[in-house]
Amino acid sequence: MLKDYLRLHFIVLLWGFTAILGKLISVPPVELVFWRTLLASAGLAGLLTLRRQSWRIPVGQALRLLGVGALVATHWITFFLAARLSSVSVCLAGMATLALWTSLLEPLLLWRRVRAYEVFLGLLTMVGLYLVSQAELGQLLGLGVAILSAGLSALFSVLNSRLVKQHPPLRLTLYEMLGACLSIALFFPVYSRYFTNGAGLQLAWHGYDWLWLLILAGVCTVYAFSSSVELMKRLSAFVINLTINLEPVYGIVMAVLLYWLHVPGFDREKLSGGFYLGTVVILFSVLIHPVLDQWMQRRRKPEPAEAVV
Alpha-carbon gap, residue 233 to 142, rounded angstroms: 37
Q: What angle do CA 114, 117, 118 make, to 5 degrees?
A: 60
For 42, the enclosing helix (H) or strand (E) is helix 29-50
pLDDT tens string, the chain, 309 residues long: the values are: 778 888 888 998 999 899 999 999 999 999 999 999 999 999 999 988 888 888 888 888 899 999 999 999 999 999 999 999 988 988 988 888 887 787 778 777 767 777 777 778 778 888 888 888 887 778 889 999 999 999 998 888 788 777 877 888 788 889 999 999 999 999 999 999 888 888 889 999 999 999 999 999 999 988 888 788 778 777 766 577 667 778 888 888 898 888 888 888 888 777 788 888 888 888 888 778 777 777 777 776 654 544 443
CA 132 to chain CA centroid, Å, is 20
- In order of 68, 132, 280, 283, the CA distances from 96 in angstroms are 21, 12, 10, 7
Q: Indicate the residue type of 208.
A: Y
Give the CA distances from residue 284 to residues 136, 173, 239, 265, in Å, rounded to whole numbers and listed in that order.
20, 30, 16, 29
Which amino acid is present at 207? G
